[in-house]
Amino acid sequence: MSDIIIITDWGSDPPAFAGALAMAFTVVPASVATVTAEAVASARVVVVYSKLRQADDVARLGEVIGEDRRRTDTIYVASSSDRAGLVQAEALKIGLILPSFRSSRDIRAAVQKILNRGLEAGLQRRSRLVANAIETGDALYQELGAAMRADKPLPPEVLVATARAIGEATRREGLAEWLDAVQLHHSGTCRHMLTVAGHASSFGQYLSLHESDVAMLAEAALLHDVGKLFIPISVLEKTGELTEMERRAINTHSMRGASALVRGGRTAKEVIAAVRDHHEYLDGSGYPRGVGADGLGPLTRMITIADIYSALTEERPYKEAMTPRQSITIMAGLKGKLDNRLFAAFRSMVLDPVFAKKQASVLPGSGGRPACLQAGIHPFDASQETAA
């Protein structure tokens, strides 16, 4: 299902705001003259951009967009200052009518509000901790996108708050509850961000890492794909096979994300390294730099494991979700690519049904263990040093 269908009577020329929407949402274009009820039903939000001067066009829209959806899920964007279109939109009982002078940002915000309606309803059935973390994560996702598009620094306060909220939610409610709640979000890209953050945060808790290490894991996970926000969602969430050009564009995301964080000047260098190198492997076969084990710190190694596992267990437009055991089996076959000690611990965590359902309310400080990730110390080496 697409996020938006934009119905126009402007032929092949898309409206100016369509490009802005395509950066944040999956968008399908349609013509007033040929749009079908099936096409409308396959989109979460309907945007009508038409002069609405032809009686046949008005009648057709009334037929293919049911009255309930016109009231709740449809936005009319006037294509000119002509009053006639606004009057017809009101006669169609379209729920939200925007005059022609409204900006792309206003239209995007209106779409987001409709899309979040289902999320808000679903979160009412969740614990307050989980609901708060999802809501904070959604706000972060939107702010990250706005910052990337405007080439502005990322919002550090929202990032820290989201990392803390996810850590608290997974610790008190369990990883399984978190992963289930994440599925309520309409965006596959946002779901992946929150899924990786949940796995990474839980991984740190499973290893009894220091509170600051768990927070750093969550922050790195939330930012690991930030470079993808430069790439249209229509490419990121494409249902069919990617073209070579599209694949190359996606493969730039890790370096673009790291560069954006460097320009922002507010992110820890270890987190930037994890964003840049989370597709690198210990044997040097990854991208974008082809570095090996000596160039990959423990934070990066942990994010790589969480990212791969999350991608395998997630449903995507082009594949079904794999079970935890299927995913772990595939990862076990990546000989020489992943950190063996960390992978063995992660495997134990995700295959432990007790841990997934409820975690012990340990932390802050986590048993007196010193912070290790910011210093570049491997968690298992740090535990040995503490024991000594």
Domains of the chain: 2-109 (3.40.50.2300), 126-387 (1.10.3210.10)
Cα separation, 90 vs 93, in Å, equals 5
Supply the pLDDT for residue 387. 44
Supply the pLDDT for residue 40. 97
pTM metric for this prediction: 0.89
pLDDT along the chain (388 residues), means of 10: 89 80 90 94 95 90 96 92 88 94 91 92 94 96 86 86 96 95 93 97 95 96 94 84 92 94 90 98 97 96 98 89 96 97 97 77 59 94 58
Supply the pLDDT for residue 367. 52
99 burial class (0-12, 13-18, 19+ CB within 10 angstroms)? middle
Supply the pLDDT for residue 153. 80
Instruction: State which amino acid sits at residue 54.
Output: Q
Supply the pLDDT for residue 156. 87
CA distances from residue 220 to 132, 342, 352 in whole angstroms, order as listed: 20, 17, 24
Cα separation, 31 vs 11, in Å, equals 7
CA distances from residue 193 to 237, 320, 330 in whole angstroms, order as listed: 14, 18, 21
